[in-house]
A and B are shown apart, each in its own frame.
Chain A
Amino acid sequence: MNVITDNWDVWAEGLIGTLILFVAGGLLALILGIIVGAMRVSPIPVARSMGALYVNTIRNTPLTLVFFAFAFALPPLLGLRLTADVSLTLAVCALGIYTATYVAETIRSGINTVPVGQAEAARAIGLTFGQVMTLVVMPQAFRSVIPPMMSVFIALLKNTTVAAGFGVVNLGAARNYLSERGANQMLVIIWVMIIFVVLVLLLSWAQRALENKWRVAR
């Protein structure tokens, strides 16, 4: 327990960093993922191939390499000065852009569960593609993708620790900080693990609540 109580500053800073990365990266991933998912099922061929290209390149790249590109290739290209805020923004972009591919594919699998007849009927009564998606398909798709979508966000939460190697302080960096203060490394790792288990349990709880709320009567 001393590892925690003697070093509140490190743990607080780390937890805040992790939560910022998770929330901001998750929002970016959700928005971008929904757009890309819709592109992949749209009737416009250019949008479909753009979506496929995005998913197939980013999803096939290891996360550390995506981070590397954002931390080391982008700043000189854009002439960025690397303050802590800039590093955080770059990390959020890296996480969001990477996770968006998984969100897009999860959404697409959800869209595939909606019977084709629904979209055809919607079109028959004169709705546009946008209306078909937002009024008929997406609401049904969302409720069927809650479990896999939550898995994507749980993975995102744990992936935030990668940012520790690229200039962003989060729980993944706690060990480096506390080793300088002479703390027992194994204890630090166990505490980081416990914090992550608790955070993921919270997400699982949110998943169950959403599932119950949006349950379809079959």
Chain B
Amino acid sequence: MRKTRISASIAGIALAAIALTACNSGTPGADPTEDGGDGGDDTTALWEVATDVQIEGSPTFDAMTERDGVIVGVKNDQPGLGYEDATTGERTGFDVDIARWIAASLGFDEDQIEYVTIPSANREQALVNGDIDYYVGTYSITDTRKELIDFAGPYFLTGQGLLVAADNEDINGPDDLEGKIVCSVTGSTPLQRIRDEFNPGDTVEYDTYSQCVEQLLAGSVDAITTDEAILAGYVAQRPDELKIAGEPFSEERYGVGVAKGDTVMVEHINTLLTDGGDVWTALFDEHLAPAGITGTQPEVDPAS
């Protein structure tokens, strides 16, 4: 009896596996509601997938064409920017759409993009190792990072801000943090800046901003600090419980991370960003304007 049951379940698993692979290979040209998800459907109308793309002298592009697909590094826990729905696996957000737009300009459609969630601390290493082709995920352009990798863009400007409970009237800016507990991600620059330049009561650090939001809602910490664009996504999720306090007090310029030395790829992305103003505005209006922030497209830095 036992033996038959085991072989029956193995047969079941095998059947399921066959069914799954069958679905997978059937996607090209299939019903658009099946692939990509809703988020992709709205925005893919903004651009067309380029055909017969020829780019000379870009190792990244050569790797893409060889494997016939793009591997993009993104975030998965930042609503409005880079977010992955845990139940459907669908990825949405401004950064994710920028990544899709770049892939389309290189001649790859939605089915050929593989997303990899990479936490902030691992970004440079992933690019240096060649695990990903490019990274779009609240990636501030800094000089120390430029020593290891190259940046295209910036495609977005934001600044450090503070997130507090909606009924908090005490904190209206970084100068009001005396005696307050501020939360951010372990070892992050915004937290260092708060410690060095302002005078918080104490700071605590978790692995993700979502965990900080958890503690803020529980009343265990008073404020969360990081880039305003990231904070705005959490406000959009819980407008009744959270709000942004005061004005941004630094300047962060988000770029697209590219392997060091691939100037050709940087120039390609910069040209795309410079020429595609309407797409940028449409993406901003869809993902970030509802969270209550305003912004205009920045000019890109010249490739060095």
In the complex, the answer to whether A180 meets B188 with C-beta atoms within 8 Å is yes
Interface of A is mostly: helix
Contact with A along B114-134 (1 / 0, CB 8 A): 000000111111000000000
Q: Within the assembled complex, what's the spacing in Å between the Cα atoms of A167 and B204?
A: 5
**Of A76, A79, A185, which contacts B125 at CB under 8 A?**
A185
Nearest chain A CB to B188's CB is how many angstroms away? 6
Which residue of the partner chain B has the closest CB to A166?
A: B206
B contact residues around A165 at 8 Å (CB): 186, 206-207
The A/B interface has a contact count, at CB < 8 Å, of: 79
Is A176 on the interface with B (CB-CB < 8 A)? yes
For B207, the chain A residues whose CB sits under 8 A away are 165
Any B CB within 8 A of the CB of A157: no
Expressed in whole angstroms, the minimum distance between the Cβ of A72 and any Cβ of chain B is 6
Main secondary structure of the interface of B (DSSP, over half): mixed
| Proximity bits, B184-209, A CB within 8 Å = 1, else 0 | 01111100100000000111111100
Give the number of chain A interface residues (Cβ < 8 Å): 28
The smallest C-beta distance from A63 to any residue of chain B, in angstroms, reads 15
| CB of A75 within 8 Å of the partner chain | yes
Specify which chain A residues have a CB less than 8 angstroms from the CB of B145 in the assembled complex: 182
Q: Which residue of A lies closest to B218 (CB)?
A: A76
The reply to whether A82 and B187 contact each other, CB–CB distance below 8 Å, is no
Q: For the complex, what is the distance from the CA of A178 to the CA of B122, rounded to whole Å?
A: 11
| Beta-carbon contact of B124 and A179 below 8 Å | yes
Residues in B neighbouring A179, C-beta threshold 8 A = 120-125, 187
Contact B186 A176 (CB under 8 A): yes
Beta-carbon contact of A83 and B125 below 8 Å: no
Contact yes or no, A82 B215, CB < 8 A? yes
Question: Within 8 Å of chain A (Cβ to Cβ): is B147?
Answer: yes
Interface string of B33-47 (1 = CB under 8 A from A): 000000000000000
Interface residues on B, range: 20 to 34
Say yes or no for B220: interface residue by CB 8 A criterion. yes
Contact B206 A185 (CB under 8 A): no
Nearest-neighbour CB distance to chain A for B19, whole angstroms, equals 33
A82 pairs with B220, CB closer than 8 A: yes
CB distance B122 to A185 under 8 Å? yes
**A81-B205 Cα distance, complex, nearest whole Å:** 14
> Cα distance A84–B148 when bound, in Å?
33
Whether B68 sits at the interface, judged by CB under 8 Å, is no
Q: Is the CB of B189 within 8 A of A180?
A: yes
B119 → A minimal CB distance (Å): 9
Most chain-B CB neighbours within 10 Å: which of A10, A84, A178, A180?
Answer: A180
Query: Is A186 part of the contact surface with B, judged by Cβ < 8 Å?
Result: yes
- Inter-subunit contact A84/B122 (CB<8 Å): no
Q: Complex Cα distance A175/B183, Å?
A: 19
Report A-chain residues with C-beta under 8 Å of the C-beta of B123: 179
- Please, how many angstroms separate the alpha-carbon atoms of A30 and B182 in the complex? 34
The yes or no answer to B221 lying at the interface (CB within 8 A) is: yes
Tell me if A101 counts as interface (CB < 8 A to partner B): no
Measured CB to CB, the closest approach of chain A to B123, in angstroms, equals 8
Q: List 14 A-B contacts (CB under 8 A).
A: A72-B211, A72-B218, A76-B218, A76-B220, A80-B220, A165-B186, A167-B204, A173-B187, A179-B120, A179-B122, A179-B187, A180-B189, A182-B148, A185-B125
Interface residues, chain B, with chain A CB atoms under 8 Å away: 120-125, 142, 144-145, 147-148, 181, 183, 185-189, 192, 201-207, 211, 214-215, 218-221
